[in-house]
Structure 1
Amino acid sequence: MTSEPQTGKPQTSERQPAPSQLQRTLSRDLPAHEGQTVKLQGFLHARRDLGGVQFLVLRDRAGVVQCVGSGLELPLPESSVEVVGRVAAHPKAPGGYEVHLQSLRVVTAAVEPSPVELPKLDWHVNPETLLDYRVVTVRGLKERAALKVQAELVAAFRDHLIHEGFTEISTPKIVSAGAEGGANLFPIDYFGQPAYLAQSPQLYKQIMVGVFERVFEVAPVYRAEEHATSRHLNEYLSLDVELGFIESEEDVMDLETRVLAAIMARLAERAQPELALLGAALPEVPAHIPRIPLLEARQLVQEKYGHAVHGKDLDPEAERLLSGHYAEAHGSDFVFVTKYPRAARPFYAHPELNADGSADAELTRGFDLLFRGIEITSGGQRIHDHAMLLESIAAYRLNPEALAGYTEVFKYGMPPHGGFAIGAERLTAKLLGISNVRYARAFPRDRHRLTP
C-alpha cells in the first residue's frame, strides 16, 4: 500500500454529486467506476497510519477495498462505516483499485476492540479460541468464503434436483423414534412424552416417494455421538435425496454423480473469488465414479498398504488409503464403496440379490462415497416390500409398534426406491482443504459446544 491520498479539488469539470445523492457501490464493481466518485458502506476491516497517510481496508458483502485518506478520525476496527471518494487504479491494492477518500462517516462504532484481529486470523491456531469468539471470527475473509462456497454448493444441489424433477420437502425434526436405531439420539421432553431430535429424515423421505416419486430435503440432523474430532459434528446440514422406480442402487449412484458434477460446475462459475482466496482446487467428477465392494476395499488396503481393517466398516485410515489409491491409480478424487454387510447398515437397507433372485443373507445394496480420504455420503436401495421390511425389523430386534407409522405405507404399493445423504460441512471442508469440519459451519455444535 504505497499510494498517496487524493488532495485538492477533483481534476474534472464534472459536477460531483452530493454523498446523499450517490447510490451504494460494492467493492467488486469499482472497475466500472474508475475516475468517478462512489459511496461505499461496510466494516472497517483494518487500518494503519503511515506518516500522515491513512490506509483503511473496508469490507462489504462483495469483498474488500483499500481506501486512502488523511486527517480522519478513525473508529475501532469492525465499526460499520460509510465512505465517499474517487476510484483510482492501483496495482498493489486488492482487486487493482483503491478509493481516495473525500469523507468518512461512522454508521455504528465498535465500542471495544475486537477480541481477535480478523486480518490475522489463522486456522492453524487453537480452534477453540476461534470458536469461542465465533460471533466476530465468522466475519473473517476465509471464514465467510467457506460459508459462501457452501451456500453455492447447496444452491447447486437444490437447482439440479429440481431440474431432474425432484420436489423439495420438509420433514419433522422432533420424532418419536430414531430412523436408524441405535443410541445416538438426543432425547427431549415433549409435553411429558419422550421424544428425540431427528437423526435423519430417512423414514419420512421414503414415505414421500409415494407422493412425489422424487424428493429431497436440505435441513439439519442431530447425532448424539460423543466424538471430539476434526471430522464430526453433532448437528450438521444434511442434503437428503430419495427417488422411486429404480432398478438398483446403481441408479442412485448415477444420480449422485450428476449432482456432484452440477455442484462443481456452479462453484467454478460462481465461487472463483472464494476458491482463489482459500487456494482450493475443484475436483473433476468422472462420468462414472469408480466403485468397489467393501470386502474388496478392505482386502486392497491390507495387501497394498499393510493396513488391517477391524470392525464392520472402513476405519478413517482405510478411507484415506483407499482414496489415495483411486486418486493415484484412476485419477479420481471420488470412490463408491458398495455392498455393505447388513451389520453395517440400518434395517431398511435392501439386501443384495443372489443369481436366483433370493435375498443374500449377508450383503446389502448400501454404499458410501469417499472423497479425498473421508466419507461424505451414505446411501443405497431401500426395502420396499412390506413383508421383507417386517422381517428386517424383527431381525434387527426393533420394536415394530414404534415404527408402525412408517411401515404402514409399505402396504400400499411402494415402488423400488433408494437415496443418499451428503454431509454439507464435510463436503465443504474437503473441497476447500479445511482441516476441521467445524470451520465449515457458521455456529458448530460438537460434544462440548452449545454457544454461541
Structure 2
Amino acid sequence: MSLAELRTHYSTQVNPEEIGDEKVSLAGWVHEVRDLGGICFVVLRDRDGRAQVTLVKKKIDRELFNFARKLIRESIISVTGTVKPEAKAPNGYELIPETIELLNEAESPLPMDTTGKVDAELDTRLDSRYMDLRREKSHAVFRIRHEVLNAVRTFLSNNGFLETSTPKVVATATEGGTALFPITYFDREAFLNQSPQLFKQILMSGGMDRVFEIGPIFRAEEHDTRRHLNEATSIDIEASFMDHFDVMEILEEMVAFVYTEVKKNAAQFLEDLEIDLQVPKTPFLKLPYSEAIEIVNANTDEKLTWGDDLSTLAEHTIGQHVFDKTGEEHYFIIDWPSEIKPFYALPYENDPEISKSFDMMHRTMELSSGAQRVHQHDLLKTRIENQGLDPDGFEFYLKTFRYGMPPHAGWGIGCERLVMTMLGAENIRDVVLFPRDRKRLSP
C-alpha cells in the first residue's frame, strides 16, 4: 500500500449515504480508546475532526479486536473499512474496520493531555506545542487565523492592492528609537526591521499606487504582558492619492469583511471555541484624541495632558465608554499630537501640533495605527530632525521624495491582536504558533 492509499478521506468528508458499501480509509491519531468488554470504540482524530471506529467482539476478527483495545493514545493509525450511519457518533457515522495499521506508536505517558479533560498551564502547552495543537480548541484557533489572513488577502486584492514583500534586515531603524534587534551582517551592523513603513512609501514613489504586505516585524521592547510579542505578524497597506480618512474606511471595511468571512467559513471552529462572533458595524466611531483625554480624566484618577500617550487603564476606560455609548467594540482615536507620532505622520497645515493620524482600537487594546504621510521632502527632513534623528541615516528613503512623491496614506494592524480580540483570548501567545517574547526563544 502506498502512503497515499492510507487515507481516502478526511473524517468530515465521509457521507454514509453517498459512499454506501465502498471501502474508506482514514488516517490520524488515536484520540481515545474505550474498551467496554464486548465492544471497543477507537476514536480517530485527523486535521478536520474525529471518527468513531467501532469493533464488536462477536462480529469481528478476535486478533483485530485485541489489537485495537491495546492501542496507545496519540499513536498514528490507518483504518480501512465500511461506514454505517450512527447519529451519536462524531460526524454521524461509525467506521467498521477490516484492517487497522499501526504506523507509529506513541510513547507513554504523554507530555500533556490532548482530550481537553485535563487542563495545562500556558508554559506547558507552549513547551509542547506539537501536542497542544492536537487539542481541539488550540487547533481551532489556527484554522480561524488561516481564515483571517485569507480574508485579508481577498479583501485587499479585490480593492486593487498588490501584495509585496519588503526586507526584514535593514541598515536603519524604521521609526528611530532604541527598540531594535541588532545583528551582525557580514562586516557591519544591521537590524531586524520594526515595520515595512519606509519601503511601503518608497513603493508609492515607484508608482505601485496601492500595496499591502503580511509579514513579520520585530520590536526589542522589554514588555512582559499578555498582549505584547517581540516578533509579530503585521498586516500593512499604503495607498497613493488617499488621505487618512480614506484608509480608515478601508481598514474598518476590511475588519468587518474578515469577521464576516470567519463567521461563514470557520463556523465549526468558532463552535469548538464556544464563540458567537458578532460582525462589527461600520462606520466606526471616530473620537478625537482631545476628547479621549477628557474621558480618561473624568473617569479615572489618571490626569492626562496634551501629548501624553495612553496607558492600558486609559485604553480600557475609553473603550468601555465607547461600548456603553455605541454597543460597538471597535472605534478610532484620531487627530493625535504630532510630537508623539512618527516623523512620517503629516501635520495639519492650519495646526501643525495635530497630525493626520489615527489608532484603530478594540475595547480592550490598540489594534492598528496609521496616518496620511508627509510627502514633501523638506518637511519630512525637518520632521526627522525635530525628533532627534539624523537625516543622513535615512538618505535612501529621503531621496525618493525629491522626484515626484504622490500624497499617500496607510496603516498597519497586528494579526495576532486582531485574532486575539476576535476570539476573546486572554493571552496573545494563544494565537501565535511559536511565540517570541522576552523569555521565550524555543521552540
TM-score, normalising length from structure 1?
A: 0.89
Instruction: Give the distance between the partners of 1:21 and 1:235, measured in 2 at CA.
Output: 40
Aligned residues: 427
Distance change >3 Å, CA 317–CA 56, structure 1 → 2:
farther
- Deviation of residue 97 (structure 1)? 2.6
1:166-217 deviations in whole A, cap 9, x for unaligned? 1111100000111111111000011120110001000001111223110000
More deviation, 50-59/398-407: 50-59
Alignment of 1:159 with 2:122, yes or no, is no
Aligned pair partner of 1:46 in 15, 32, 48: 32
- Deviation of residue 75 (structure 1)? 3.4
Alignment of 1:336 with 2:332, yes or no, is yes
Checking the alignment, whether the CA contact within 8 Å between 1:244 and 1:418 is kept in structure 2 is yes
Instruction: Give the distance between the partners of 2:348 and 2:117, measured in 1 at CA.
Output: 50
More deviation, 62-71/422-431: 62-71
Q: Which residue of 1 aligns with 2:433?
A: 442
- Deviation of residue 52 (structure 1)? 4.2
- Deviation of residue 372 (structure 1)? 3.3
Alignment of 1:95 with 2:81, yes or no, is no
Checking the alignment, whether the CA contact within 8 Å between 1:34 and 1:89 is kept in structure 2 is no
Alignment of 1:275 with 2:270, yes or no, is yes
- Deviation of residue 351 (structure 1)? 0.8
Distance change >3 Å, CA 276–CA 54, structure 1 → 2:
same
Checking the alignment, whether the CA contact within 8 Å between 1:75 and 1:110 is kept in structure 2 is no
TM-score, normalising length from structure 2?
A: 0.91
Query: In the alignment, residue 152 of structure 2 is paired with which amino acid?
Result: F
Query: In the alignment, residue 186 of structure 2 is paired with which amino acid?
Result: F
Q: Which residue of 2 aligns with 1:149?
A: 144
Instruction: Give the distance between the partners of 1:305 and 1:89, measured in 2 at CA.
Output: 60
Q: Which residue of 2 aligns with 1:10?
A: none
1:129-173 deviations in whole A, cap 9, x for unaligned? 111111221232211211111111111111111111111111000
Q: Which runs of 5+ in 2 are unaligned?
A: 56-64
Q: Which residue of 2 aligns with 1:8?
A: none
Alignment of 1:325 with 2:316, yes or no, is no
1:41-79 deviations in whole A, cap 9, x for unaligned? 112222232224322221212112222224334432222
Q: Which runs of 5+ in 1 are unaligned?
A: 1-18, 355-359
Identical-residue share of aligned pairs (%):
38
Alignment of 1:400-415 (within 5 A): 400-415=391-406
RMSD between superposed Cα atoms in Å: 2.1
- Deviation of residue 21 (structure 1)? 7.4
Checking the alignment, whether the CA contact within 8 Å between 1:284 and 1:332 is kept in structure 2 is no
Q: Which residue of 2 aligns with 1:4?
A: none
Query: In the alignment, residue 24 of structure 1 is paired with which amino acid?
Result: T
Q: Which residue of 2 aligns with 1:192?
A: 187
Q: Which residue of 1 aligns with 2:374?
A: 383
1:397-441 deviations in whole A, cap 9, x for unaligned? 101111000111001111111111111111111111111100101
Query: In the alignment, residue 151 of structure 1 is paired with which amino acid?
Result: H
Instruction: Give the distance between the partners of 1:418 and 1:89, measured in 2 at CA.
Output: 57
Query: In the alignment, residue 412 of structure 2 is paired with which amino acid?
Result: A
- Deviation of residue 26 (structure 1)? 1.2
Instruction: Give the distance between the partners of 2:170 and 2:117, measured in 1 at CA.
Output: 40
Aligned pair partner of 2:227 in 216, 231, 239: 231
More deviation, 326-335/91-100: 91-100
- Deviation of residue 256 (structure 1)? 0.5
1:323-379 deviations in whole A, cap 9, x for unaligned? 22222211212010111112321111111232xxxxx23211111111231111111
Aligned pair partner of 2:48 in 47, 62, 65: 62
Aligned pair partner of 2:409 in 392, 409, 418: 418
Aligned pair partner of 1:362 in 353, 356, 359: 353
Instruction: Give the distance between the partners of 1:327 and 1:96, measured in 2 at CA.
Output: 41
SS of the residue corresponding to residue 116 of structure 1 reads coil
Distance change >3 Å, CA 117–CA 21, structure 1 → 2:
closer
